[in-house]
Amino acid sequence: MKLGKYYSQVKRVREEIDPLTADEVSLFLRTVLDSKYYREYYPVLLCAIHAGLRAGELAGVQWGDLDFVGRFLTVRRNIVHGRINLPKNGKVRRVDMSDALIDALQALKKARQAEWLAKGQNDIPEWVFCNHEGKVLDTNNLRNRALHKCLEAAKLRTIRLHDLRHSFASLLIQNGESLAYVRDQMGHSSIKVTVDIYGHLVPGANRQAVNRLPTASGIVKKAKAKKNLA
């Protein structure tokens, strides 16, 4: 048997995810915000958790993508290895922004304008999460210099930058949002992808399913009901 044929018969393994809990997210964000060394990373890390963007999508956000009136962010780009691509699946999508994220991004823009004005420049860089030179964010630096250090400071386990995206989805589901809404916010190609990754996180889904199975008491109740009607 050829190897290609053999591999084609292997079932796809569900992606391993390690999302932060609600309490862990709060602890993590407080740690970032309270640190004079890592406070500057608060807006981008908050965006990862509150908007569920991929690393390359975070790097690709421009100020023109933010609608503070409509309260949404349009994901138009995914920067991978320095190349600007369309978001994964080739679809532009809108992501709702939380009040906290809007406040953080508006404060960031105001601070950026003051910083660049002090440099004698009236226009700020187009990239929302740029480096100090105004160039595209290096997501490897974000992961190694900010994410991991802040997790360590908060005494939390080490997770991937991509797990902040998973945290966004898992918390939405635990808060009772539909899988269809999560699919749209995450930019999945189909709801099947969403179900494959996060279906097991739906609160009480499995327990409700097994509680609908017939039982002896259920049969007895039905029998009594029929007897009373006779």
* Stated pTM of the model: 0.84
Q: Answer whether CATH 1.10.3720.10 is correct for domain 17-201.
A: no
Q: Which residues of 142-180 are buried (b: 16+ CB within 10 A; e: fewer)?
A: beeebbebbbeebebeebebebbbbbbbbbbbeeeeebe
What whole-number distance in Å separates Cα of residue 59 and Cα of residue 130?
8
Angle between helical axes of 42-51 and 22-34 (0-180°, round to 10) = 160
Each residue's pLDDT tens digit, 11-29: 444 568 999 999 999 999 9
- The string of DSSP codes covering 59-73 is HT-BGGGEETTTTEE
Phi-psi region of 23 (alpha: psi -120 to 50; beta: other; left: phi over 0): alpha
3-state SS class at 14: coil
Phi, psi (deg, nearest 5) at residue 38? -115, 5
Q: Is the predicted pLDDT of residue 168 greater than 70, yes or no?
A: yes
Question: If pLDDT is split at 50, 70 and 90, which confidence band does 5 have?
Answer: very low
